[in-house]
Amino acid sequence: MQGSSEVPGFYKLPMEERMNVVKKLTGLSEEEARSLANTGGLPSDVADRMIENVVGGIAFPMGIAVNFKVNGRDYLVPMALEEPSVVAAASNAAKMARVKGGFSVTNTGPVMIGQIQVVEVKDPQGARTRLLERKAEILKKANDQDPMLVSLGGGAKDLNVKVLATIKGPMVVPELIVNTGDAMGANAVNTMAEAVAPMVEEITGGRVFLRIISNLADRRLVRATAVFDRDAIGGEDTVDGIVYAYAFADADPYRCATHNKGIMNGVIAVAIACGQDIRALEAGAHSYASRTGKYKPLTTWEKDANGDLVGRLEMPMAVGLVGGAAKTHPVARAAIKILGVKTATELAEVMAAVGLAQNFAALRALATEGIQRGHMKLHARNIAVSAGATGKMIDLVAQKMVEEKKIRFDRAKELVEDLSKK
Ligand code: NAD
């Protein structure tokens, strides 16, 4: 960049003027600025209110995964992401799952945890007891903050108190257990945690620092199961290969990270389409995967007595339909309408099914032909574009690379050069 990144009053400028500043400082061309300024289906004034210092937007393609049957209901599933082959894989896996009835999913309810950190407590165990004795008062104070949530049957329902041994000495940590209904719940829970903090200081005689939701949402779990017919998925070898793949992930964190990443390909793509907090979902998933002290797969795969393959997924799924971008982003609202879910838990259940489907698709490909064949075929067009192909040339270059089984950037460049000469 040219000049200092200190731009006083940048936040106060209208979007267009912010863009002018960025253009001047970075040498962005008119064309580059125009594509950045395009906020797609998100009106620019909404974008400007959603976060700070907005200059534009970035759009992902949204595809619709077909064939999903979850708890006996059919769903068209919107998925937004940049990675080729995910939507195709989900649709294909969902089709195979249908043979045995699709996905069955249950959930533990929309329950989140709000933590309050108390330090410098003289009698941590005594403070814990006193907090528990005054639970009703603390819960009432929390619930007074959100009459709307309480009127809908949600609100702070319980209080858990931990005493932690830390490198800075003992800490008392009361935790509000909050039913957040159709909200993801971070704002609701954080407001409650902040409101009860003075009371917590008075009861414990300590000092409160942090008051914040936990993204390890282990009281907001979804559990999905699907039976995959042995013959429909490629026979006994495929079943065995997938069970071996799972065993590998269970034994080795290096493999497990990629196993779980495959699950999140599906979960996060639906989450982006539906305007969810994907950082919260990732944090929840991976912390839950590590809850035993070892990083483990979020799914299990077994062969049943008939020789069919049974997949199970269990993970936190903190999603909402009220609040956040789910409410303010018009494209997310349209995606939620396509999906047709009526509650946050229904959304969570569909997302669990998609995560399980995605994991199945990846393991099936890995345990048989490898993922590169299907993946690279779909990726060939991206490579063609990055090698400079435009218009009709994109498909010509991609097709040629697939035929030659040389789906590589250097070959794409040669083909682009050849075709440009013609
Ligand atoms: P919110 O505060 O916008 O909406 C929740 C409120 O909506 C509830 O408190 C309730 O009063 C009302 N409401 C109306 N109808 C409801 C219904 N049917 N069910 C439940 N509540 C209903 O949003 P939120 O869900 O509390 O917070 C989510 C936002 O917080 C996300 O944008 C997230 O990114 C952000 N956030 C996340 C973290 C984190 O995950 N660590 C921290 C801070 C903020």
Ligand 1 atom nearest 283 alpha carbon:
40
Cβ-based neighbour number of residue 271 at 10 Å: 26
CA 179 to ligand 1 centroid distance, Å: 11
Q: Is 182 in the pocket of ligand 1 (CB under 6 A)?
A: yes
Atom 15 in ligand 1: residue holding the nearest Cα? 322
Antiparallel, parallel or unpaired: β 207-214 and 155-166: unpaired
Cβ-based neighbour number of residue 364 at 10 Å: 24
Atom 1 in ligand 1: residue holding the nearest Cα? 323
pLDDT class of 186 with cuts at 50, 70, 90? very high
Cα dihedral 75→80→84→85 (10° resolution): -20
Atom 23 in ligand 1: residue holding the nearest Cα? 323
94 touches 358 (CB < 8 A) = no
Q: Work out the percent of the chain whose per-residue pLDDT is above 90.
A: 92
Burial 103-140 (b: 16+ CB within 10 A, else e): bbbebbebbbbbbbbbbebeebeebbebbeebeeebbe
Q: Is 278 in the pocket of ligand 1 (CB under 6 A)?
A: no
Q: Is 323 in the pocket of ligand 1 (CB under 6 A)?
A: yes
pLDDT in tens, 95-136: 999 999 999 999 999 999 999 999 999 999 999 999 999 999
Residue 2 has pLDDT above 90, yes or no: no
Give the number of residues written for the chain: 422
Residue 419 has pLDDT above 70, yes or no: yes
pLDDT in tens, 359-417: 999 999 999 877 666 677 778 888 999 999 999 999 999 999 989 988 899 999 999 99
Cβ-based neighbour number of residue 344 at 10 Å: 26
Region 296-317: what's the mean pLDDT?
98
pLDDT score recorded for residue 78: 98
Q: Is 193 in the pocket of ligand 1 (CB under 6 A)?
A: no
Rg (CA), the chain: 25
Helix (H) or strand (E) holding 19: helix 15-26
96 touches 159 (CB < 8 A) = no
Q: Which residues pair with 69 in a beta bridge?
A: 74
Residue 421 has pLDDT above 90, yes or no: no
Q: Which residues pair with 322 in a beta bridge?
A: 183
Residue 9 has pLDDT above 80, yes or no: yes
Mutate to test the pocket of ligand 1, among 115, 187, 328, 346 (most ligand atoms within 8 A of CB): 187
Residue with tokens 């209901």, as numbered in its chain: 73
218 touches 341 (CB < 8 A) = no
Region 74-99: what's the mean pLDDT?
97
Burial class of residue 95 in the structure, from the number of CB atoms within 10 Å of its CB (0-12 exposed, 13-18 middle, 19+ buried): middle
Ligand 1 atom nearest 213 alpha carbon:
41
DSSP state of 169: E
pLDDT in tens, 235-246: 999 999 999 999
pLDDT in tens, 324-366: 999 999 999 999 999 999 999 999 999 999 999 999 999 999 9
Q: Is 324 in the pocket of ligand 1 (CB under 6 A)?
A: yes
Atom 10 in ligand 1: residue holding the nearest Cα? 149
CA 250 to ligand 1 centroid distance, Å: 35
Q: Is 192 in the pocket of ligand 1 (CB under 6 A)?
A: no
CA 319 to ligand 1 centroid distance, Å: 9
DSSP state of 3: S
364 touches 315 (CB < 8 A) = no
DSSP annotation string for 208-219: EEEEEEES--TT
Q: Which residues pair with 323 in a beta bridge?
A: none
Whole-angstrom distance, CA of residue 231 vs CA of residue 308: 8
CA 76 to ligand 1 centroid distance, Å: 26
pLDDT score recorded for residue 370: 72
Atom 17 in ligand 1: residue holding the nearest Cα? 182
Whole-angstrom distance, CA of residue 244 vs CA of residue 150: 47
DSSP annotation string for 291-314: TTSS---SEEEEE-TTS-EEEEEE
What distances in angstroms separate CA 14 from CA 22, 56, 229, 349, 415, one per listed residue? Answer: 13, 12, 57, 41, 45
Q: Is the dihedral of CA 127, 130, 134, 139 positive or negative?
A: positive
Q: Is 148 in the pocket of ligand 1 (CB under 6 A)?
A: yes
Whole-angstrom distance, CA of residue 281 vs CA of residue 286: 9
Range in 172-186, 310-324, 405-419 with the lowest mean pLDDT: 405-419
Q: Encode 57-72 in three state secondary structure.
A: CCCCCEEEEEEEEECC
pLDDT score recorded for residue 40: 86
pLDDT score recorded for residue 220: 98
| pLDDT higher at 73 or 379 | 73
Average pLDDT of the chain, as a whole number: 96
Question: What tokens appear for 30 in the block?
Answer: 């008119």
CA 152 to ligand 1 centroid distance, Å: 14
Q: CA nearest 309: which of 368, 227, 231, 248?
A: 227
CA 283 to ligand 1 centroid distance, Å: 17
Residue 283 has pLDDT above 70, yes or no: yes
Residue 47 has pLDDT above 70, yes or no: yes
Residues classed as catalytic: 83, 261, 277, 375
Q: Is 284 in the pocket of ligand 1 (CB under 6 A)?
A: no
pLDDT score recorded for residue 116: 98
pLDDT score recorded for residue 22: 96
Q: Is 145 in the pocket of ligand 1 (CB under 6 A)?
A: no
Question: What tokens appear for 17 in the block?
Answer: 């003027």
CA 322 to ligand 1 centroid distance, Å: 7
Q: Is 321 in the pocket of ligand 1 (CB under 6 A)?
A: no
240 touches 303 (CB < 8 A) = yes
